[in-house]
Structure 1
């Protein structure tokens, strides 16, 4: 899946796909149906209400043309001595009423469109977040996936609102064009086709503009991601201390300015190209409008249209020209947004294979043996496998250690055993059954993983522990028991609000913890999940030596018979494990108990002695 995401996110391929999209009536029909479904699913009531208001606005505009003609007729027929007559003030009052109604309808439409746009955006966020949390973990190792995710967040999620506006503007302009066109037809049918032709240059220019906009967005996605990353480095809480300690402020800001300047230069070029197209389209449209008005003057001179009809026709031409341009602008907005919606649709498809797969049974509640059977895994974009032909075995109730130098593949192997990565070759088996036989969610629920780079949730201490199992409400007694087993209870209970205290200074009343205290909270999170298999990735990295020794001394009693797989590069912590697997360059190079591995005089014995030498007294010179 990750490789597919990488392919689909390739900028050259995306631009080629965009250019291949023909701006045809068939394409417009597809986009309109998709847009209507999108908006309708968000709020049928608001959508229908806006359509009703659009029709009302169209009727009001058509009425204004006819009332203007009635007013002019009454004015021309008015005798100087007769004063105001019903023939004059009735159409004048009608014109005022229709003008006020049009203004009120416009104001109400604005508020309703804003609300509908937010509802559409909310629906899109739900789908995008569903994909982001539903794709396999390997997708997050792919730059292509992040490019696509960034593009969806910055463009495709705002486009549904523009589609909503474009769709409603099209509906209103179409209804108004029909109404005003019918009114104009009573004066002179010849003027209608000229006004329609006047909108075509705008549409043709808009077609090219939509392609330019999508191409620009695709090209600038990496630049936008880098700007956001450099912004995070300068504003992030965790990064702030190192930025100041190393004096990186000017260095980072200079890089940020350089990236932004490059973007602004390309943006200027892009906007100038769009402006030229827009000017050409509108100039051509203006020329056709002048010709239309010239035809009207010619008809007045020949007596084919009277003065009142001419006045009403001028109003109708101006209104209809605006509506025709609005209609074509709405079409252009749908086309332009359609390219981004296609990109969004492709992103949403990333999670579809898993959702459409046949339902799988749940994993068993317990197991006798867990095996990694000759598994191989390569990260997206990498040429060399991170894990190659690795096999490990964990029997129920055992404590098994995975050791090795940095980069040896320990954490990747743990993620494979946890079902977070799917092996390219080989299999993870429970009692001989491949875990891919069961639903991924049920497999994950049987495993508690404590990562070295665990998440520090800016939530209460209770929430941080209870995040280990959110299948039901947090159980206070269970939270306290898990915190006690991990050695986190003392630090939490010393906080102003105890377990209710937010563990972050981002929010009022919040308090932060030390690195070691946070590590204990993360371990408590794993203990809170009553899973038969517990995987601990460098669980003592932030602990002091006393706390580390206590953690491993109490590990068996704390787990209460559950199976544990823990990863460490500190060989002193693994001596009591039932079995130790030693990894190097992605492979398991030896395994056994501490005593067996030391007698073998292999890789483990070498690394153990190197680490032990740092703590042993050295002989004095000449001793």
Structure 2
């Protein structure tokens, strides 16, 4: 995804692509192969078992037609007072047994297909989650990406089950069609081709229905995301206090109702169009069926078909019609699901492409110097650059501060240093080597970054800290050490279950922490990572002045020689940094120590005095010590 270029996730392109897809035998074969591989990978033994059940169920249907013919023949041959012949009893028992077997097989098939469908959904959703966590962070700046992500999340959990059911339905429909069709041909060869013609109208309408469904889903995705977001605001725990403080429930609910009303209106129009197509297809099939039955009546009148054979033929026609319709429904489901699964496949390709883009040699375990060389960066869809020719030099063991007003580019620069973004132009070099030559995963493994909006996981305290280095088993000693260095050990150990306490009231036995306590847990997470470079974005924003002062006074000691880059709006906090970089509108406008920058009487000195004036009675005091 590049700035100013076409959006590869454009919904219009998806709709055009779906309309251009030809419904050919080759495409059906391609979709069947893809579906079979998907189902086979999810549960091959269960898949084989279901195929066996489908074949047996189809043979049972064919057997029922034969038994019905034998039953009717025995009944018609029965004379008054002759008693019940053995053949009629056997035919009756056989018919009852086959009907019971059909019901049992249908029950077994339902349970097995449900479990297999869930297994397929799980496998597909795992792939979607891997792709979503593997793509570059820049994709999350695109609304179209969010639309596709939500759409494929739904497709990954529902469409594979649809594919599974359709694929098994096709196998069962084909087997039953062959078996019952053979019996019908044995009664009279003209009946089968006439009946199969009844499927043609449905074939013609099913394709249009599939395209309508896919287009409707694509069109509705942005509105559905807005509706889900409003539902989240109305029910989420963290948002609940503000919703009540400002009495936002009624207006948010009204917006939710409006969006839902529009959706229902659109859905009604969509369903009317699908119903019209379905009605046309079924009426066409009914006309052909009527013609087939009239032919059967004519054959009876001509003496070509006996009464018993006619009865069996009617049963066979009814069975065969349902199997042909099931076969066509399965094909329609495959085609329809194929559009959605192709959408999923294209999303997964983003993850595969991202993996290739971020591949490279392992990054070195440590560095002597990091150089940010003329770095430019613009967010996707933005007309201006967030960074415009930034130059920064960071030596091992230094504490470097980034300061500046909101929107100056500090956090963006931190993300680039952390390997979360690649520069649009320019480079970040470790000991002279461009970090884009390294695997980005390995670069990120050498960095511990805690942003101001860090995640508060509803996990245990131990897990909240140990996620800082999830690739190894949690080490209780390291967890306690990291908590101690961050000043979090005291309040975590006093929790009901200590480090095993869940840090959220969302789950039973959980406890809440204050904002400042959570900030210390986040800092402990960074310490636990034990990385050579630590990036702290507003690490003391939620701390009181005493705690903030204590943290910065101990920063060099707890870093133990590691390199740190921290961002702060509080200029009093950065005075002890080795180098302070002042950013303004995406550029570095000043750099130096606190004393050097104050002596220059530039941007830093101006901002420092503005903050100092807010705390001092005498605003003329320039450099409080």
TM-score range, shorter chain: over 0.9
Question: Which residue in the other structure is 1:369 paired with?
Answer: 369
8 A contact 1:300–1:306 mirrored in 2 = yes
8 A contact 1:2–1:145 mirrored in 2 = no
Q: Equivalences for 1:85-484 in 2 at 5 Å?
A: 85-356=85-356, 360-484=360-484
8 A contact 1:207–1:335 mirrored in 2 = yes
Q: Distance in 2 between matches of 1:576 and 1:218?
A: 54
Q: Distance in 2 between matches of 1:425 and 1:271?
A: 50
Change (3 A) 1:3 1:50: farther
Deviation at 1:6, TM superposition (A): 7.2
Deviation at 1:156, TM superposition (A): 4.2
Deviation at 1:157, TM superposition (A): 3.1
Q: Distance in 2 between matches of 1:241 and 1:50?
A: 52
Q: Equivalences for 1:455-604 in 2 at 5 Å?
A: 455-604=455-604
8 A contact 2:121–2:156 mirrored in 1 = no
Q: Distance in 2 between matches of 1:285 and 1:180?
A: 19
TM-score, with structure 1 as normaliser: 0.98
8 A contact 1:5–1:145 mirrored in 2 = no
Q: Give the 3-state SS of the residue equivalent to 1:60 in structure 2.
A: helix
8 A contact 1:5–1:144 mirrored in 2 = no
* Aligned structure 1 segments of 4 or more residues deviating by more than 3 angstroms: 1-6, 354-359
8 A contact 2:464–2:521 mirrored in 1 = yes
Q: Give the 3-state SS of the residue equivalent to 1:471 in structure 2.
A: coil
Q: Give the 3-state SS of the residue equivalent to 2:469 in structure 1.
A: coil
TM-score, with structure 2 as normaliser: 0.97
Q: Give the 3-state SS of the residue equivalent to 1:510 in structure 2.
A: coil
Quick check: 347-356 or 57-66, which moved more? 347-356
Q: Which structure 2 segments of 5+ residues have no match?
A: 621-625
8 A contact 1:369–1:395 mirrored in 2 = yes
Question: Which residue in the other structure is 1:40 paired with?
Answer: 40
Residues 250-283 of structure 1: per-residue CA shift (max 9 Å, x gap): 0100011111111111011101111111111111
Q: Distance in 1 between matches of 2:257 and 2:359?
A: 51
Deviation at 1:125, TM superposition (A): 1.1
Quick check: 6-15 or 181-190, which moved more? 6-15
Q: Which structure 1 segments of 5+ residues have no match?
A: none
Deviation at 1:417, TM superposition (A): 0.5
Paired residues, number:
620
8 A contact 1:138–1:421 mirrored in 2 = yes
8 A contact 1:501–1:510 mirrored in 2 = yes
8 A contact 1:5–1:350 mirrored in 2 = no
Q: Distance in 2 between matches of 1:473 and 1:126?
A: 23
Q: Distance in 2 between matches of 1:460 and 1:162?
A: 38
8 A contact 1:408–1:584 mirrored in 2 = yes
Q: Distance in 1 between matches of 2:306 and 2:5?
A: 66
Deviation at 1:302, TM superposition (A): 0.9
8 A contact 1:398–1:563 mirrored in 2 = yes
Q: Give the 3-state SS of the residue equivalent to 2:392 in structure 1.
A: strand
Q: Distance in 2 between matches of 1:592 and 1:213?
A: 61
Q: Distance in 2 between matches of 1:359 and 1:134?
A: 12
Q: Distance in 2 between matches of 1:154 and 1:108?
A: 27
Change (3 A) 1:159 1:327: same
Q: Give the 3-state SS of the residue equivalent to 1:8 in structure 2.
A: coil
Q: Distance in 1 between matches of 2:499 and 2:392?
A: 39
Residues 287-310 of structure 1: per-residue CA shift (max 9 Å, x gap): 110110000001101111010000
Residues 425-453 of structure 1: per-residue CA shift (max 9 Å, x gap): 01111000111222122111111101110
8 A contact 1:571–1:611 mirrored in 2 = yes
Q: Distance in 2 between matches of 1:204 and 1:53?
A: 31
Q: Give the 3-state SS of the residue equivalent to 1:531 in structure 2.
A: coil
Deviation at 1:139, TM superposition (A): 1.1
CA RMSD of aligned residues (A): 1.4
8 A contact 2:32–2:334 mirrored in 1 = yes
Residues 321-351 of structure 1: per-residue CA shift (max 9 Å, x gap): 1111111111111111110011000000001
Q: Give the 3-state SS of the residue equivalent to 1:158 in structure 2.
A: helix
Question: Which residue in the other structure is 1:51 paired with?
Answer: 51
